[in-house]
């Protein structure tokens, strides 16, 4: 009889190979984490785009818009703050100049050098008050003479000029007995009566009355400038967006490395 042939023992079941990073990344837990990371990254990217749009600063209105003359009450209202989009807008309105309410502002620059502004208190037919920079004088005497002529013939006039925001009263030098800022908040306390509220800005008249020079009032600047601080913030948001996705990748890789070390303690992780 032939000897029975002995078969080699069957090898024991080998340990399963560690999962790849791709297999771990496809697990429901990490797919959900990826969706969350992409959502956060998209939010950060949107914030970065918004911040970048704010880094471009320019005029709110174009020169063509600002030079188109519109009615004052169509772009501004009494007792309401002046909108930035209306700064520099050319306006037309009717107003009566109130006697004894004229104010002279010193240290005002014009094409002729430093001098004085004559500011009148205009009251519209509705009763709303508006400060009007009527003209520029080279001396206080010339300003006083022009005011005397204006008070001698009070009338309701049609004015055309540029609408500008009120200035800060802190610019005025009260201790020296002078006033240099056209601050509406100050004028309210100087004028005799404000029957129906006051506009939040003032108008520089394009035409000056007799004895005064027209005030130089150029159109608002429409040049676009770059705000570097906002650009820096925009870059920060982009970095945060990238970090959200990188964090997901790093967490998945950590799980893969731990799984590989448990199954292959001596394996070198790439």
Q: How many domains does the chain have?
A: 2
**pLDDT higher than 70, residue 91:** yes
pTM of the predicted protein model: 0.61
- In this structure, are residues 174 and 103 in contact, taking their beta carbons and an 8 Å threshold? no
Pair (130, 253) in one structural domain:
no
220 part of a folded domain: no
Pair (36, 136) in one structural domain:
no
Give residue 34's domain range.
Answer: 22-54+227-263
- The per-residue pLDDT for range 222-232, each reduced to its tens digit, is 655 567 777 88
Top-confidence residue, 166 or 233: 166
d(CA 16, CA 23): 14
β-pairing verdict for 113-123 and 225-226: unpaired
- In this structure, are residues 90 and 70 in contact, taking their beta carbons and an 8 Å threshold? yes
Pair (253, 130) in one structural domain:
no
What pLDDT shows up at residue 174? 56
16 part of a folded domain: no
Pair (77, 201) in one structural domain:
yes
189 part of a folded domain: yes
268 part of a folded domain: no
Boundary of a domain, candidates 155, 173, 205: 205
219 part of a folded domain: no
Pair (40, 67) in one structural domain:
no
- The per-residue pLDDT for range 44-66, each reduced to its tens digit, is 988 888 887 776 654 444 555 77
């Amino acid at each position: 009889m032939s000897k029975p042939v002995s078969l080699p023992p069957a090898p024991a079941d080998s340990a399963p190979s560690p999962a790849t990073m791709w297999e771990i990344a496809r697990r429901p837990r990490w797919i959900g984490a990826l969706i969350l990371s992409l959502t956060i990254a998209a939010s950060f990217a949107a914030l970065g785009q918004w911040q970048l749009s704010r880094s471009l600063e320019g005029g709110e209105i174009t020169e063509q818009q600002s030079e188109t003359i519109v009615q004052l009450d169509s772009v501004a209202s009494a007792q309401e703050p002046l909108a930035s989009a209306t700064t520099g807008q050319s306006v037309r309105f009717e107003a009566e100049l109130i006697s004894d309410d004229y104010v002279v502002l010193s240290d005002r620059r014009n094409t002729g050098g430093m001098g004085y502004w004559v500011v009148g208190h205009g009251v519209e037919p509705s009763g709303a008050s508006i400060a009007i920079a009527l003209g520029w004088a080279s001396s206080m005497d010339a300003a006083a003479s022009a005011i005397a002529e204006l008070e001698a013939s009070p009338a309701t006039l049609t004015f055309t000029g540029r609408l500008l925001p009120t200035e800060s009263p802190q610019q005025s030098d009260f201790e020296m007995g002078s006033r240099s800022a056209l601050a509406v908040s100050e004028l309210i306390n100087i004028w005799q009566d404000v029957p129906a509220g006051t506009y939040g800005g003032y108008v520089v008249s394009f035409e000056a009355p007799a004895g005064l020079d027209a005030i130089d009032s150029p159109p608002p600047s429409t040049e676009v400038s770059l705000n570097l601080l906002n650009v820096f913030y925009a870059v920060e948001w982009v970095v945060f967006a990238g970090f959200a996705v990188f964090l997901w990748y790093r967490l998945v890789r950590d799980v893969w490395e731990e799984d590989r070390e448990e199954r292959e303690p001596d394996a070198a992780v790439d």
